Amino acid sequence: MQLYNRIIINLRKKAALRMKEIKLEFFLKTSPSVLFSRISNPSGLAEWFADNVKIEGKIFTFYWGDSEQKAEILTMIPNETISFRWLDMGAGYEFRFDIVKDELTSDVALVVTDNVDDDDADDTRILWSSQVSKLRQAIGS
C-alpha cells in the first residue's frame, strides 16, 4: 500500500492541479450481487481495497497500515453502482464503482472511475489494476 499512500500524499500537495477522470474496465467471473458485496460493505472492501474498513452512517474509514482516509458515500444503487468522495481532499476527488452485465454473454465487468490529478493518472491506473487483482483472488475469479 506504499504506492497508494504516496499517491494520496501527492494528491494533497497538488490540490490545485487540473483533474482528470480515468475509467478502467475489469471483467470478472462473478455475479453482480457477489461483486456488489465486495465494493459496498466494509468486510468486502477489506478483502481487497484496504487493510481494514469501518462504516458509520454514510462515512467509510479506510485503513492502510498506520494511515486512514475517510470517504462519504455519494450514491448507491444495489448491484449496480456506488460512488465515494474523499473527505479530506479538495472538491472533485471522487471514485465510483459500476457493475455492468452484458445481457447477451452474461459477462460481468467492474468499471472503476477515479478523478485524479493529471500527474497521478498512470500511478492510479497501476494501483487500481493491482487492487482489482486482489479482488479477483478474493472472489475466485
CB proximity list for 89: less than 8 A, separation 6 or greater: 11, 12, 15
Cell 469501518, located at residue: 54
Domain 2-139 is of which CATH architecture? Answer: 2-Layer Sandwich (3.30)
pTM of the model: 0.82
- Give residue-wise pLDDT tens across range 46-93: 999 999 999 999 999 999 999 999 999 999 999 999 999 999 887 788
- Give residue-wise pLDDT tens across range 20-54: 899 999 999 999 999 999 999 999 999 999 999 99
Cα(114)–Cα(124) distance, integer angstroms:
8
Cα-based angle 88, 120, 52 (whole degrees, multiple of 5): 50
Q: Check: CB of residue 94 under 8 Å from CB of residue 115.
A: yes
